[in-house]
Copies of this chain bind each other. A is one copy, B any other.
Amino acid sequence: MTLPYGIFSTGDSTPRVGVRLDDQILDLEMVERLGFFDDLAIDRTVFAKPVLNDFMELGKTACRAVRQRLIDLLNDPEKPLDGFADFVFIDAALATHHLPIRIGDYTDFYASEEHASNVGRMFRPQAEPLLPNWKHLPVAYHGRASSIVVSGTPVRRPNGQFLGPDQQPVFGPSRALDFELELGIVIGKPSKLGEPVSVDDAESHIFGLVLFNDWSARDIQRWEYQPLGPFLGKNFASSMSPWVVPLEALDQFRIDGPHQQPVPLPYLQSSGKKHFDIHLEVILQTAENSQEIVLSRTNASHLYWNAAQLIAHHTVNGCNLNVGDLLATGTISGSSPTSYGSLLELTWNGTRPLALPNGEIRTFLHDGDTVILRGWAGENEVIFGEVIGKIKA
């Protein structure tokens, strides 16, 4: 069972913790009130909170005990929850989903080799696709936490500065609005300032994974980013899935990562299966046509650096992690042109417009376009909700 955690509300009720079960949400505040967690040695008020942070702060042992209890209850042939079905099972279609995490710091990595190589090929065509540092360390930058929104929140096309046709800066709505298909890593255990987390211990700091769309305005980004990196081209909005898949649910989908050559420095050397076989896809619906058009199909296996390496690198200088921090992978692209995780790559910076099956053309996103990210592992054994965002003017 996946049993992803999220925050939901119904009608005028206050937001609270639930787990997703197919088309239903199991209301954990109600399960707690009914006494099903009474014998667990945990602070049981955490299920009535409007974010998952308090639950995560209970720690891995407590979170695993809750997960095991839920599995036991749902697998019990006597169906102990069914007598309270009207209270504990909520029709997901009738619920409002909330941002599940009070996000502290948000970091975005650049961990897909194909994505970084594609960007290099586009913008530095005469040079090596990857910059010299890329295979020695997971390149990253700090992003904006305040503008991270839950799936379903409309995304306003940002205004900003970019270069006009005469290479002079102009101001207006971005003409190169893009998505980025990413996974997000939710930190569930803090680390102390000045104390690095080893690559072997790093996964103990992960609560779970989400799908993440790091919306990007390529024209704004291109003009502003030298020399300190992306800023207004990114920080107008990022969208995350309402459901956080606990790391435990993904154990059977662990795989080996790519062979890393050159061998990274010792603090980044990881052993064991720390990559995940997660199918990912990007869907577009246009304002004119609600048909779901698949823009890209890829897999988290295409990441070069794994989550443990991202955490080990992030903290090697003593930078501390807090519960609720979010580390995103960066755009995940595969090697074939139909597996790229951004329109920047899919249209090769707008030079190869996409002819959609409904007859429309896209280089970048139009107002009214809806982008949907989906992810799953196995044959629907683990399903990451969706990240949906519709562009408004």
Contacts and interface: CB of A to CB of B under 8 A. Distances in A.
B232 A319 contact: yes
A231 interface: yes
Given A105-B144, A229-B230, A139 B224 contact: yes
B146 A320 contact: yes
Interface residues of A, number: 58
Interface stretch (A3-11, A152-160, A253-261): A152-160
B236 A171 contact: no
Nearest to A171: B265
A341 interface: no
Contacts of A224: 133, 137, 139
A319 B235 contact: yes
B229 A227 contact: yes
A321 interface: yes
Nearest to A267: B171
Interface in A266-281: 266-267
Contacts of A171: 265-267
Contact of A235 (B110, B142, B145, B322): B142
Contacts of A319: 144, 146-147, 232, 235-236
Given A110-B228, A149-B193, A317 B144 contact: no
Interface string A158-199: 111100000001110000000000000000000001101000
Interface string A197-239: 0000000000000000000010010011111111110011100
A316 interface: yes
A104 interface: yes
A136 B156 CA distance: 24
A137 B168 CA distance: 13
A322 to B, nearest CB: 5
B144 A226 contact: no
Given A141-B141, A142-B235, A156-B194, A320 B228 contact: no
Interface string A101-137: 0001101001000000001000000000001010011
A239 to B, nearest CB: 12
A143 interface: yes
Contacts of A104: 145-146
Nearest to A196: B159
16 contacts: A104-B146, A105-B146, A139-B231, A140-B231, A142-B142, A142-B143, A142-B235, A146-B319, A147-B320, A170-B265, A193-B237, A194-B236, A228-B229, A232-B314, A232-B316, A237-B318
Interface of A: 104-105, 107, 110, 119, 131, 133, 136-137, 139-147, 149, 156, 158-161, 169-171, 193-194, 196, 217, 220, 223-232, 235-237, 265-267, 313-314, 316-322, 325
A-B pairs with the 7 shortest C-beta distances?
Answer: A229-B229, A158-B317, A141-B228, A142-B142, A228-B229, A236-B317, A156-B194
Given A141-B228, A144-B319, A146-B193, 20 more contacts: A105-B144, A105-B145, A133-B223, A133-B224, A136-B169, A140-B228, A141-B230, A141-B231, A146-B321, A147-B318, A147-B319, A147-B320, A158-B317, A158-B318, A169-B265, A227-B229, A229-B230, A232-B319, A235-B319, A236-B317
